[in-house]
Structure 1
Amino acid sequence: MEVAMEDVLTQLTRQFLPQMTAAEKSRALRSLKALIDAELFELAASEGAEDDPDRACPWCGSPHYVKRGRDGRGRQRFLCRGCARTFTDATMRIFSTTKLDRSAWMRFAECHVDMLPLRESAEKCGVCLKTAFFMRHRLLEAMAKRMPAFRVEAGGGAELDECFFRESFKGNRSRSESGMPRKPRTRSQGTDGHEKICVLTGINDAGDIFYEIAGRGGLDEAAARELLADKLAVGAIISTDRAHVYRRVLPALGVGAHIASKREEHAINRVNSLHSQMRHFIGRFRGVSTRRLENYLAWFKWTWCFKVRRSADELAELIVRQAARGTYEKTWRQYKVTPYPFYEYWIKQAKWDSRARRAIYGVA
């Protein structure tokens, strides 16, 4: 009778484990788990790579290429017809320059699915906190590029509304380059409307969602027109609250019907539910820095799109597969100096405060 290979491995493990001491068992199981994680990583990263329809030359972006043997590691090599340079599926990819073991990345993907804190993820993966932070945002950068597009066609319906997040300078210290533009505040203190970040959100009849960071304070008419222009087709049916900005922008975009309802009519409950889930998701991280908000919103959309009817193991493999085919743009140094969005407000405030102090006290 033919015996499956996995059954043989299970039998051998059960045969030799009882003969070991507790310390030997611990070392053996850790080694076995690291080997399994590394193999799972390689399987997930290579799955479908040969038939990837989005493959293009990483040097010039040309989709015209031919096979040209294999490299020293046995990976398929390609020759670009555009720039005549060779590349593989790992060239300029997220994992091509990493010095971490593949098993560490697989464990981090599992921690990422469970949304574990960075310190706990760093401990499980055997890396420092700074490395765990960089790994998280590298994965988020790759995940953000795999999102389905949002579109409302003619005759289709969607609900639009704004969601507001308090501006946060989390992680910013006096020794950082930008410094704190205001005094620290506790969560119980109120926040001025101009110190809230507006996120324009929407959900269509198919359940697809979108988010766009629109600006500081209330939704601006110019920002709304720019952000909605490529999302709403002529003839779409849009439901919103009674904000004046929608009454001016939506007819100009050619929507078929605009249904503006009062809050107590509960006509846009789906987008309000989306806001509730979004705030709950962001709240799990005990505050997200405003300059990192877009990455975490992308994480939320990823869970919305891909988490349905998938196990934790399948989600971890999906993250690795998407990240393995994704390219990165930001380096560690660029993450450190990421500017805060809409910082001009604080520059103007500082200038106004200095003029006020001179006018009142005669000093700078």
Structure 2
Amino acid sequence: MKTTHEIDILKQLFENLSERDKHQFLSQITSSQSAIQKVIQPREVKACPHCQSVHFVKNGKRNGRQNFLCRDCNKAFVEQTGTILFGMKKDIAVLEKYVHCMIEKYSLRKCAEICDINLATAFAWRHKILDALQKMMEQVELDGVVQADETFTTISYKRHHKNFNLPRPPHKRGTVATKRGLSKQQVCVPVGVNLNGLSIAKIANLGRPNVTDLQKVLGGKIAQNSVFVTDSLRSYQKLSFDMGLNHILIPRNKYKNGVFNIQTVNNYHKRLKDLIFGTFKGVATKYLNNYLVYHNFVNFAKDTKKNKEVVLFDFIRNTFCQSRTFEISKRPALPI
């Protein structure tokens, strides 16, 4: 009865407020409630991660997590099985905070400090998330006006300290190649972009690329009837012919051909170098493909930071990606 009486008093006080004060009061209440706790809903399990069967049942709980049992392959699994979250000891809210740090392009030390995790854990989480993000980039198809060009960076053996023999004398990162021009000391990264913020990039080879090298990255990734704009490299002419594209060639020592140019892909190259050498102070070549998808999603894609956080967090929770911590550092020095 006392509670009901107090509610009636509050209602009367509310009715005596002006319309402006009512709106202000309600907005403060709403913001206060949302700030109390943000609940992350469990992921909906739609299929067995082992055999993709939809015939599975609940099989009790362990440590507060729902277990499932597949009726077809007879294997047990949980919500996180098959994703990068499997085996994670931290609460999923910590991972959500870490995704925010990645969108903000914070350093590993700053990410570790904000999320209260070990530096090695921060490193492993970054590459697990980027491994999953590779799956998203595999689904990208460029259409419309597509610009393509390659960029180069010297081979980096950063963080190769144990049980690894450098094929050359060590030097400070950022040092230019000892050979002039394009040589096997430089990693070639073909890049394709369109005007809608979609992009494709991947390590193809060392030195100058040929048609086969370009095909590895751009083959099957450009929709037919697209306008393919490139520089005068002959390999692009053969590639565009094989893919049935409308090819616009920018002549040597020119920056445009009519209304067409390759300024968007050149801007992509600049922002990529700023990310790798400015923000992250250089990255090892064996991790470069991951930083390419990092750049594609965080830097180049057209969307707000908040939306990117939501998309990335939801994607890594629902994407099957077997990425194990102990395997990350064992990747080959040259991922070609």
Pairs within 5 Å for 1:311-322: 311=306, 315-322=308-315
| Paired amino acid for 1:276 | K
**What is the root-mean-square deviation in Å for CA atoms of aligned residues?**
3.3
Once the two structures are TM-superposed, the CA of residue 246 in structure 1 deviates from its matched residue by 1.4
**3-state secondary structure, aligned to 2:203:** strand
Indicate the residue corresponding to 2:118 in structure 1: 128
| Paired amino acid for 1:144 | Q
Mapped partners of 2:153, 2:134: distance in 1: 20
Q: Percent identity at matched positions?
A: 25
Instruction: Note if contact 1:165-1:198 (Cα within 8 Å) is conserved in structure 2.
Output: yes
Mapped partners of 1:195, 1:223: distance in 2: 16
Indicate the residue corresponding to 2:325 in structure 1: 332
Residue 294 (str. 1) matches residue 289 (str. 2)? yes
Mapped partners of 1:340, 1:127: distance in 2: 27
Over 3 Å counting, the alpha-carbon distance change for 1:211 and 1:76 in structure 2 is same
Mapped partners of 1:146, 1:157: distance in 2: 21
Instruction: Identify which of 253, 266, 271 aligns with 1:272.
Output: 266
Mapped partners of 1:8, 1:251: distance in 2: 59
Query: For structure 1, which segment, 92-101 or 144-153, has the greater mean C-alpha deviation from structure 2 after superposition?
Result: 144-153
Over 3 Å counting, the alpha-carbon distance change for 1:342 and 1:122 in structure 2 is closer
What CA deviation, in whole Å up to 9, does each residue of 1:79-100 have, x standing for no partner?
A: 5464244544322332231122
Mapped partners of 2:329, 2:97: distance in 1: 25
Once the two structures are TM-superposed, the CA of residue 290 in structure 1 deviates from its matched residue by 0.2
Indicate the residue corresponding to 1:281 in structure 2: 275
| Paired amino acid for 2:147 | E
Pairs within 5 Å for 1:76-95: 80=70, 82-95=72-85
Indicate the residue corresponding to 2:152 in structure 1: 164
Instruction: Identify which of 40, 50, 56 aligns with 2:47.
Output: 56
Once the two structures are TM-superposed, the CA of residue 148 in structure 1 deviates from its matched residue by 6.9
Q: Number of paired residues?
A: 304
**3-state secondary structure, aligned to 1:122:** helix
Once the two structures are TM-superposed, the CA of residue 107 in structure 1 deviates from its matched residue by 3.2
Indicate the residue corresponding to 1:354 in structure 2: none
Residue 215 (str. 1) matches residue 205 (str. 2)? yes
Over 3 Å counting, the alpha-carbon distance change for 1:333 and 1:79 in structure 2 is closer
Over 3 Å counting, the alpha-carbon distance change for 1:263 and 1:61 in structure 2 is farther
Indicate the residue corresponding to 2:171 in structure 1: 185
Q: TM-score, normalised by structure 2?
A: 0.77
Mapped partners of 1:231, 1:322: distance in 2: 21
Mapped partners of 2:314, 2:240: distance in 1: 39
| Paired amino acid for 1:296 | Y
**3-state secondary structure, aligned to 2:192:** strand
Q: What are the ranges of 5 or more consecutive residues in structure 1 without an aligned counterpart? A: 12-32, 344-364
| Paired amino acid for 1:177 | N
Q: TM-score, normalised by structure 1?
A: 0.71
Instruction: Note if contact 1:307-1:315 (Cα within 8 Å) is conserved in structure 2.
Output: no
Once the two structures are TM-superposed, the CA of residue 188 in structure 1 deviates from its matched residue by 6.5
Once the two structures are TM-superposed, the CA of residue 9 in structure 1 deviates from its matched residue by 10
